Amino acid sequence: PLPVCPVHGALAQGPETPSAMRVVPVPVLEDNFAYLLIDELSKQAAAVDPVEPAKVIEAAAREGVIICSVLTTHSHWDHSGGNEEFSKLVPDAVIYGGKHDTYKPFTRLLDDGDTVRVGGIVAKALHTPFHTPGHVCFHCTEVAGGSGAAGGAAAAAAPDAAAAPGVVFTGDALFVAGCGRINGRGTPAQFKRSLVDVIGALPRDTLVYVGHEYTAANLRFATAVEPGNTALAALAEQAKAALAAGKPTVPSTVGTELAANPFLRPASAEVRAFVSARLGEEALASDETVLAGLRSIKDSFGLGSSAGI
């Protein structure tokens, strides 16, 4: 039988317990990433978007950790489609997802700012709804105080995590050098807020773990938008080397994306010139219209035929 977590349901009141956070990418499907978010000291872990549960559970066994929870970024099948099978294979795991998305099955739904404990790690849900109504990113930090005994624990109003930067799982909101589509009821205002005001406001050295390996295609578009961006050129060289070696292009950092990702750079002269040349001066009315216009150009650039790109 699989090992189970010692406690579920609420933040335990106990002695302060340090943690050591580690992330293990697990390639799934054709180009998706699932992840293990590991607290090394308690050996507890959360599985992020485990669409192929067997692969993620095998990875956990190799790492010697217990999966206590599932963090689901959004309801698209290639991210949440493994939840039902996962709940059968690891019945003690608490399955979390955004409040405004629909999951089957789920244990708890998270609103913006709700937190989940993984040993001595706090994962904070950040509502980033332009791709799906309930899309959330998870900003994860080690806490200075709190009990590592709360395996999987709660979607409650826990104390804020320590100020030290951590990691963020961005699902289909932000990719390396790119972003997800504005789908359904998503709006330009949500798009700009999610990317610039939420993800872009995290500490610059926060490690960014994205939902897909779309980096090569994203870099081709980004380079067409900002050919004079030296940070982008450096990122392209790093990504090229990683892919040639058979390695993933994650993690990036928030600082790298602010410098190189055109979807976080609505004030860039090159970004604005690129948009206005194709959509007219009216597309420069606001940061929201610049970024939404840029995304619409990307949709027909020839690089984004799959739903997530």
| Whole-angstrom distance, CA of residue 203 vs CA of residue 164 | 8
| Whole-angstrom distance, CA of residue 198 vs CA of residue 173 | 11
User: Of 39, 101, 114, 131, which residue is the catalytic one?
Assistant: 131
User: Of 8, 49, 160, 172, which residue is the catalytic one?
Assistant: 172
Strands (E), 43-158: 44-48, 66-71, 94-98, 108-110, 115-118, 121-127, 136-142
User: Of 39, 79, 101, 127, which residue is the catalytic one?
Assistant: 79
Q: Estimate to the nearest angstrom the gap between the alpha carbon of 288 and the chain centroid.
A: 21
> 158 CB contacts (<8 Å, ≥6 apart)?
11, 115, 117, 122, 146
- Does the active-site annotation cover 78? yes
Largest distance between two CA atoms of the chain? 63
The answer to whether 48 and 37 have CB atoms below 8 angstroms apart is yes
Residue ranges in the chain assigned as alpha helix (H): 53-63, 77-80, 83-89, 188-192, 215-225, 230-244, 254-260, 269-279, 287-299
What's the token pair of residue 122? 């706090």
DSSP, res 197 = I
- Does the active-site annotation cover 131? yes
- Does the active-site annotation cover 74? yes
- Does the active-site annotation cover 212? yes
User: Of 39, 76, 101, 135, which residue is the catalytic one?
Assistant: 76
- Does the active-site annotation cover 76? yes
User: Of 78, 101, 114, 287, which residue is the catalytic one?
Assistant: 78
User: Of 127, 135, 139, 212, which residue is the catalytic one?
Assistant: 212
DSSP, res 199 = G
The answer to whether 135 and 166 have CB atoms below 8 angstroms apart is no
Give burial (CB, 10 Å; 0-12/13-18/19+) of 305: exposed
User: Of 39, 49, 74, 287, which residue is the catalytic one?
Assistant: 74
Phi, psi of 217 (to 5 degrees): -65, -40
Which residues are identified as catalytic?
74, 76, 78-79, 131, 172, 212
